[in-house]
């Protein structure tokens, strides 16, 4: 990937993440809903896809079928929070 293409991809990812952060700040219930959904699917082999679909259906967060880098970052962050929760128990 060329430097220009990489920079363009990074700018797109940053813009998507900024949009996500705006949605979360506008509706503070989103994190709790996302985590509740994530807990339902955390042990499911197809859990990430199911989680993405239900989050899209239940919140203003839209995760398309073909995940962008920003979508993957968001789903990775949810997974890390679940791991942190499990470590506390």
pLDDT digit string, tens, across residues 44-57? 999 999 999 999 99
Judge residue 25's burial from the number of C-beta atoms within 10 Å of its C-beta, 0-12 exposed, 13-18 middle, 19 or more buried: exposed
Sequence-ordered list of residues with C-beta below 8 angstroms from that of 42, at least 6 positions apart, any chain: 82
pLDDT digit string, tens, across residues 62-78? 999 999 999 999 999 99
Domain span at 81 = 3-88
**What average pLDDT does range 26-48 have in this prediction?**
95
Domain count, the chain: 1
Phi, psi of 33 (to 5 degrees): -65, -45
């Amino acid at each position: 990937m060329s430097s220009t293409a990489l920079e363009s991809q990074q700018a797109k990812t940053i813009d998507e993440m900024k949009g996500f952060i705006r949605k979360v700040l506008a509706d503070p219930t989103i994190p709790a809903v996302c985590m509740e959904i994530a807990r339902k699917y955390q042990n499911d082999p197809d859990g990430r896809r199911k989680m993405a679909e239900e989050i899209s259906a239940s919140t203003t967060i839209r995760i398309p079928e073909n995940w962008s880098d920003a979508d993957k970052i968001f789903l990775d962050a949810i997974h890390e929070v679940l791991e942190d929760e499990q470590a506390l128990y």
